[in-house]
Amino acid sequence: MPEPFDLADDTFASNGDRPKSITLKDVARLAGLSPITVSRALHNPKLVKPDTIARVKEAAAAMGYIPNMLAGSLATKRSQLIAAVVPQLSNSMFAETVQGLNDELSAHGYQLLLSVSNYSRQKEDDLLTAILSRQPDGIVLTGIHHQAGVRKKLLATGVPVVEAWDLTPSPIDIAIGFSQERVGEQVARHLLDQGYRRFASICARDERANRRRLALEAELQRHDIAPVATHMATPPTVLNLGREGFRAILAAGHAPEVVVCSSDVLAHGALIEAQAQGIAVPQELAIMGFGDFDFAAFTHPPISSVHIDKRAIGVQAAVSLIAKIEGRPLAQNVIDVGFTLIERGTTHKVA
């Protein structure tokens, strides 16, 4: 532990008295060169003689020089900044996407400006204004539905934009995700194939989750089946909402054969509630999750789910954005990362 009890003095106060930063010019002086040469030595070494590069590096190190990227970005019009807006961070699938995004960005020298919209389009819009003022080189948004005017505002700036976690034929710029509708439809077909007929759902009040639910119901309709019960849960999607949701469904007198949940977290809650009530899963009740969270394969029984490569969405967003920023053409501006139904212990063949 270095310098113990240096508190009194070190409590260097309000940032008026910040040490005057040492600049390129200072380094240049010490190295006996012009500022621009120092700049080049640091960022464009090919243009500088090895000797001088060494001299520069030495001087910079000696002075503890830290470049001022604000100034650099202002001059180059490249900020090396990517902004992302997610609906939520804790208890969400987005944390993984953000981590993937960040990892890939970091590997390419970009940094991440992160904002949380709390599922509010208005908030997203407001955040976007603040974000744009930082001149990001790229932006990642969640979803394809935004406040009126967002599309135009974004197009006006010309920043590359990724809309993640959904698909559309007409993205603002780039869309990376999967079809919510196809998920709902496929889940319905799969469960119908297994012989289930009495469906219930526990669904988060989330635009995408709801579209999956509606697509599932539409597919059921086509087979002349209507869901017996639907329980909506307000995010954040915590485990207890799954327990409560299933309890509510039972309390209303419904006896579903299968409960389809908009998230594995809810499915897990339903599973625990069922077990607590002595209902055998999957014999008496089947449960379907979504997202294929880390824990889904390891609960007891493991939860059948829809696998989404959450991390890949983030990584792919970074890759696409960087490609576009660096002027490389994209093969496609709508990327379907797909999904996979995963049959595990909470569902089984009935018919």
Partner DNA sequence: CTGTTAGCGCATTCAG
Partner DNA sequence: CTGAATGCGCTAACAG
Residues of this chain, 3-42, that bind its own copies according to CB under 8 A: 3-7, 10-19, 21
Residues facing residue 304 across a β-bridge? 288
What are the CB-based long-range contacts (under 8 Å, 24+) for 58-63? 58/31, 59/27, 59/30, 59/31, 60/27, 62/30, 63/22, 63/26, 63/27, 63/30
CB 16, min distance to DNA, A: 10
In the set 50, 158, 253, 278, which binds its own copies (CB under 8 A)?
158
Site string for its own copies, 174-213 (x = CB under 8 A): ----------------------------------------
Question: What is the widest separation between alpha-carbon atoms in the chain?
Answer: 85
Instruction: Return the closest-CA partner of residue 144 out of 124, 115, 114.
Output: 124
The option from its own copies, DNA, none interacting with 35 (CB < 5 to 8 A, set by class) reads DNA
Calpha distance 151→172 (Å, rounded): 6
Binding partner of 132, given its own copies, DNA, none, CB within 5-8 angstroms per partner class: its own copies
Q: Are 171 and 145 in contact (CB under 8 A)?
A: no
By a kind-dependent CB cut-off of 5 to 8 A, residue 33 interacts, out of its own copies, DNA, none, with: DNA
The reply to whether 278 sits near its own copies by the rule CB under 8 A is: no
Task: Tell the residue number behind the tokens 């809650």, with chain if given.
Answer: 269
Residues from 42 through 61 that contact DNA (CB under 7 A) = 42-43, 47-52
Report if residue 89 touches its own copies, rule: CB under 8 A. yes
Binding residue (CB under 7 A) for DNA from 29, 72, 238, 348: 72
Out of 23, 91, 168, 230, the residue judged to bind DNA by CB under 7 A: 23
Which of 6, 4, 63 shows the shortest CA–CA distance to 29?
Answer: 63
Q: How many residues does the chain have?
A: 351
- Is 331 exposed, middle or buried, given 0-12, 13-18 or 19+ CB atoms closer than 10 A? exposed
Binding residue for DNA, selected from 54, 61, 74, 252, defined by CB under 7 A: 74
Q: Which of 46, 170, 224, 283 binds its own copies (CB under 8 A)?
A: 170
Nearer Cβ to DNA (78/223): 78
299 interacts with its own copies by CB under 8 A: yes
Residues 319-338 that bind its own copies (CB under 8 A): 324-330, 333
- 18 is an interface residue for DNA by CB under 7 A: no
Q: Which amino acid is at 278?
A: G
**CA 80/CA 47 separation, integer angstroms:** 22
Determine if 134 is a binding residue for its own copies (CB under 8 A).
yes
DSSP conformation class of 2: -
Of 129 and 221, which has the nearer Cβ to its own copies?
A: 129
How many degrees, rounded to 5, is the angle at CA 226 between CA 222 and CA 227? 130
Positions touching DNA (CB under 7 A) are 20-21, 23-25, 33-37, 39-43, 47-52, 67-68, 71-72, 74-76
